[in-house]
Structure 1
Amino acid sequence: MSGNIRGRPDFLLLFLTILLVGSGLIMIFSASSHLALIQHDNPWHYVMKQGVFALIGLFVMFTFMGIPFTWWKRAAPILLLFSLLALTLVLIGGTSINGARRWFFLGAFNFQPAEFTKLSIIVYLSAVISKKGERIREFRKGLLPILAIVVIILLLVMKQPDFGTMLILLFIAATILLIGGTDLRHLVIFSMGLIPIIVYFAVSKSYRLQRLTSFLNPLDSPQGSGYQLIQSLYALGHGGLTGVGIGQSVQKLFYLPEAHTDFIFAVIGEELGFVGTSLLIFVFFLFIWRGFMAAISSYDPFGIMLGIGVIMMIFIQFLLNAGAVTGILPITGVPLPFISYGGSSLVLCLASTGILLSISRDNNRRRQEATRIQQNRGS
């Protein structure tokens, strides 16, 4: 077999991805149709827009699946520069919504630079750490330049402000640095210096502190900071074991804010019940497992870090969203991957999955070549 022939992708991972996207479109229509009818006189408004992004995302996913993952190592500096530029420009000329300046609006669609930054920082850290090799254990020449870039990105995201994305970027960076062989002591020292900044950011505005602490006792402010969580818990409780049926949610009728975006998991719980949410969680964890196996099977340290970074990004977003909706974690405004309404998030998840599928293709090609060599030796 020629070395330039690509192997087969992980078809289970591909199937799970399409299953999640399809399920998301169904639930977005269910959660948003009433709102869309009132706001836009068209119950299909939001799901049609999401469908366009799904088609774009799938096109990007299949395109990235066909690109050898090693190509991203060369593209890393360009992606990083684009992210830094976009994060800077959005603070100057971006659209402000509810006090947050995070979006560029392009006609009927919008672009959120922080979403793109999640992927670019994964690619950049994986590329630079794999290039440094053992030098990453040196603080001044190995780790410090990388941390400087990470801090700049975090500060730009904090300025928007976007606390949820900042947490995701921190988890991504810490994961890749640990996998890449960074001295744990250096990370601990860096974390000790960063924690006070994060705490200050969280408590410097009273509304942020209320959002972060209201999950502990939402009934203290039933019409204020605890309102969203209370309505979310009502939805989950109303769903019971098997749910009230698709399209029959009561909480989505202007009781539950952001029903088709950040709190769509609550609508799923109300309409499909504990059984439906359990199946969704199972699909997510199966997706995470297949992606993780593809990542750790790579022959290339860059591929390992790249794949695990992608999986960590999707996994952390899932945990933060599901944890917020169920009252286990604070509300951070993180969407549910593949499911929540939002074009930037959906395209990012599908593009990232395309990279995972590219890694799996390379793994399968190498297995096929190894099998062929063994068969030739045995003949």
Structure 2
Amino acid sequence: MKIDKKHLLNYSILLPYLVLSVLGLIIVYSTTSATLIQYGGSPFRSVLNQGIFWIVSLLAIWFIYRLKLNFLKNSRVLTAAMLIEVVLLLIARFFTQEVNGAHGWIVIGPISFQPAEYLKIIMVWFLAFTFARKQKLIETYDYQALTRRRWFPRNWSDLRDWRLYSLLMIALVAAQPDLGNAAIIVLTVIIMYSVSGVAYKWFSTILTLIVGLSSLFLGTIAVVGVKNMAKIPVFGYVAKRFSAYFNPFKDLTDSGHQLANSYYAMSNGGWFGMGLGNSIEKRGYLPEAHTDFVFSIVIEELGLIGAIMILALVFFLILRIMNVGLKARDPFNSMIALGVGGMILMQVFVNIGGISGLIPSTGVTFPFLSQGGNSLLVLSVAIGFVLNIDANEKRESILEEAEEQYQSQINSAAET
């Protein structure tokens, strides 16, 4: 029995993705056109670049959806992707120019990409592959199943030890420094760990440890002072962000300028906003209005009501993705979907937390809405993974039902 995958497409995931992507193109134009005109450029330059990435993203979704899942479960393919990612992160850190106090962008002619963005989906893929292979051990030995291997693999061609690779990747991203993506990866790893089947006591212990260390870290900064902490290597880049986190209005011309203007933008928006394209803060007052702080401009132009509707659509997409993971019977499929949903959720949390002052600003883009072709492409690849997994789960279910009906008919015929 042959079932065409095009009839199994999950439109409750695809349609919200398409709506958010188109809305993102509109917001990219709104947040960049005025500045481009001011500097004598074409107002459509940024949105055209984003549109090209979106077309590539749609092709990526189509290609991934057509793949057989055995390709994603191939250890050689995964290992190759991981090794390439390590090389790219090293190149980004040590052989690229510093931009805004950090390394991370690799520029090849007119094309630039950020390896840390692609690491997020690779980590979900890698941990799902690793934990799915250990499900029987986890059922029997619980936490011991994930610690039976030594900290260092027996040979460097075997990079399947999840602790070694996770720590290595997080360290490389944090050293750039890109604390925003590092935080998302850490939180995603925790989610993947928690859905792997390990008893809740281990997850709660790790979460308590992270919260405790974070509180100790922030308390140390508050006591020692940001200026003294800035003398520590690598930390100098993020010192101003912590200064703004504690009191953005203390230094409006420097460290607190961005967060304070984010507050002004959200205040200007009120309930119903100033109207699409009518933002004041995007006209040179709020830096990174088209990337890190794009949601502040969304609130200013569309108001709190419009922002809530967008957030509701994002959360609907996340819930539909996680629903695929909850219903999946294959452990690999389940963890991929739950990991993707968790990854998007953590990116929303880190971005909204940064623009609202709930957590220090980390320079993370808002999913689908911020300008950033790499971010859009990574999210699209993740959506492609989930759509493929959902279609395969549906096909397996249909085949099993057909087999059961066929056996039932045979048994009935035998009885008569």
Larger mean CA deviation between 34-43 and 159-168 belongs to 34-43
Q: Which has the higher contact order (CA 8 A, sep 6+)?
A: 1
Aligned to 1:19: 19
CA distance in 1, matches of 2:201, 2:390: 33
Letter in 2 for 1:349: L
Aligned to 1:65: 65
- Give a deviation string over 1:342-369, Cα, whole Å, max 9, x none: 1111100001100011111112223333
Quickly say closer, same or farther: Cα 1:40–1:367, change in 2 above 3 A: farther
Asked whether the equivalents of residues 121 and 378 of structure 2 are also in contact (C-alpha less than 8 Å), the reply is yes
CA distance in 2, matches of 1:309, 1:40: 43
Asked whether the equivalents of residues 102 and 237 of structure 2 are also in contact (C-alpha less than 8 Å), the reply is no
Quickly say closer, same or farther: Cα 1:96–1:160, change in 2 above 3 A: same
Deviation at 1:69, TM superposition (A): 3.3
CA distance in 2, matches of 1:25, 1:167: 27
Letter in 1 for 2:148: K
Determine what percentage of the aligned residue pairs are the same residue.
28
CA distance in 1, matches of 2:162, 2:188: 13
Pair 1:141-2:148 in alignment = yes
Quickly say closer, same or farther: Cα 1:288–1:186, change in 2 above 3 A: closer
Pair 1:349-2:379 in alignment = yes
- Give a deviation string over 1:269-322, Cα, whole Å, max 9, x none: 111111110110100010011000111211210111111111111110011112
Deviation at 1:218, TM superposition (A): 1.4
Pair 1:176-2:178 in alignment = no
Report the secondary structure of 2:398's partner residue.
helix
Counting only pairs closer than 5 Å after superposition, residues 189-268 of structure 1 correspond to structure 2 as 199=217, 203=229, 204=232, 205-268=235-298
* Unmatched tracts of structure 1, length 5 or more: none
Quickly say closer, same or farther: Cα 1:70–1:293, change in 2 above 3 A: farther
Pair 1:339-2:339 in alignment = no
Counting only pairs closer than 5 Å after superposition, residues 157-176 of structure 1 correspond to structure 2 as 157-176=173-192
Q: Which has the larger radius of gyration?
A: 2
Quickly say closer, same or farther: Cα 1:53–1:143, change in 2 above 3 A: farther
Asked whether the equivalents of residues 7 and 363 of structure 1 are also in contact (C-alpha less than 8 Å), the reply is no
CA distance in 1, matches of 2:162, 2:208: 14
Q: TM-score, normalised by structure 1?
A: 0.92
Counting only pairs closer than 5 Å after superposition, residues 270-309 of structure 1 correspond to structure 2 as 270-309=300-339
Asked whether the equivalents of residues 251 and 267 of structure 1 are also in contact (C-alpha less than 8 Å), the reply is yes
Aligned to 1:83: 85
Report the secondary structure of 1:110's partner residue.
strand
Pair 1:48-2:56 in alignment = no
CA distance in 2, matches of 1:346, 1:326: 23
Letter in 2 for 1:209: A
Deviation at 1:32, TM superposition (A): 0.3
Asked whether the equivalents of residues 7 and 365 of structure 1 are also in contact (C-alpha less than 8 Å), the reply is no
How many residues align? The count is 379
Deviation at 1:128, TM superposition (A): 1.5
* Unmatched tracts of structure 2, length 5 or more: 152-160, 222-228
Letter in 1 for 2:354: A
Quickly say closer, same or farther: Cα 1:5–1:331, change in 2 above 3 A: closer
Asked whether the equivalents of residues 132 and 331 of structure 2 are also in contact (C-alpha less than 8 Å), the reply is yes
